[in-house]
Amino acid sequence: MSELELKAEKLDAADELAVKRAEFVREEGDGAVYLDGNSLGALPVAVPGRIEDVVRREWGELRIRSWTESGWWTAPERIGDRIAPLVGAAAGQIVVGDSTSVNVFKALVAAVRMARLTDPGRNEIVVDATTFPTDGYIAESAARMTGCTLRPAIPSEVPGVLGTRTAAVLFNHVDYRTGRLHDLPMLTAAAHLVGAYVVWDLCHSAGALPVGLDAHGVDLAVGCTYKYLNGGPGSPAFLYVREDLQDLFDSPLPGWNSHAEPFGMRPDYEPAPGAPRGRVGTPDILSMLALEAALEVWDDVTVEAVRAKSLALTDFFLECVEAYAPEGRVECVTPRAHRERGSQIALRCQGAGDVMERLIGRGVVGDFRRPDVLRFGFAPLYVGFADVERAARVLADVLAEVSTEVSAGTGA
């Protein structure tokens, strides 16, 4: 057994979160390592039984009565309150429903409308230039809809481009390509300094690290639930509206579910008080209740403990890669500093697509982002240190194999 294998064994033995691994369905196969939880979280073992009960009993037997008797109607707010402590929010500020994209649109347009309540001349939206493409598409559409100019900027440069014309700013908390963690407190304060509202996309941080929405005065935030929150493919996203802004929140997508009298069927729209005004249409109950069951794995876990293990896992992975990988074959593009790192490691690598395909074929599942980035996501609730060591060792073998093929003229 190598020195790093022994170190992994000791780290796993001392890991207080190791017991959580039993609460997830493990990937089949000896030595299988799942490092793609930043795309789709693993399945908690409690979910299938809960969904069977929802389908067979609540839908199959109770039918329409389940909206009240089984709590379907209140699920968006109830589950929102369950997510709230994971992102540093008090109850009553998060509603679950719709996709991340829809919630980004709601939040961004509402932010512009709120800014114009006190200054109608605000006509600029600043967007993270490194953002996930969909956020950029939606920001562009929101700008057209509100008559604003869209101004892309790298997050570190944003404070210098903000001004009295800025209505809203849209940031990603963690860069989806590189895993860089942006400075939420500083950037939020910078936006507030010029009187703008800030919207944070938490897709790659919710469930992976402390966010502190309330503590840092964030105005609006959205996030998906199928990554580190393990809600399942297509599980509904969430929308956070700070409590003191809820009466001002003017959604561009009003629906009967967000009406003050949803069953009144009135022709005029009156928004519901509080977080429910972020709802739109009928909740996607099957996905939502699968998410609720998945969140049970957090009952005895703190985000701080998850963050501590995340940093230990990513540090150890980098140590193993540096020890095993052929020199000069990969370059880490994720910041080394803990304060700037999310819960993933991104490695730049020639032929990255082929390398990842071979890794997956050998049971180490990460993903690939064009043109040359290998992404490895570390979900501390079910990833262990032995997994990390094996992933780095297999990566090194694949890199050596590809290099040999290229040298021999048989590779791509």
Which residues are part of the catalytic machinery?
A: 132, 201, 226-227, 375
Q: What is the DSSP letter of 87?
A: G
Residue 39 sits at φ, ψ, to 5 deg, of -115, -45
Number of H helices, E strands in the chain: 12, 13
* Axis-axis angle for helices 285-294, 75-83 (nearest 10): 30
Cβ atoms 359, 394 nearer than 8 A: yes
Cα(239)–Cα(51) distance, rounded to whole angstroms? 24
84-97: b (≥16 Cβ within 10 Å) or e: bebbbbeebbbbbb
Say how far apart CA 208 and CA 161 lie, in whole Å. 30
- The full length of the chain comes to 412
Instruction: Note whether 143 and 156 are within 8 A (CB).
Output: no
Please report, as a single letter, which amino acid is at residue 365: V
Cα angle for residues 209, 302, 205 (degrees, 5° grid) = 20
Helix (H, G, I), strand (E, B) or coil at 188: helix
Residue 156, helix vs strand vs coil: helix
Nearest to 180 by CA among 326, 397, 373: 373
* d(C-alpha 83, C-alpha 81), whole Å: 5
CA distance 242 to 275: 9
- 231 close to 296: Cβ distance less than 8 angstroms: no
The percent helix, strand, coil of the chain (3-state, each to 5) is 45, 15, 40
Scan for tokens 């700070």, then name that residue.
242
- Give CA–CA dist 69/82, Å, rounded: 20
Measured between alpha carbons, how far is 197 from 168 in angstroms, rounded to an integer? 5
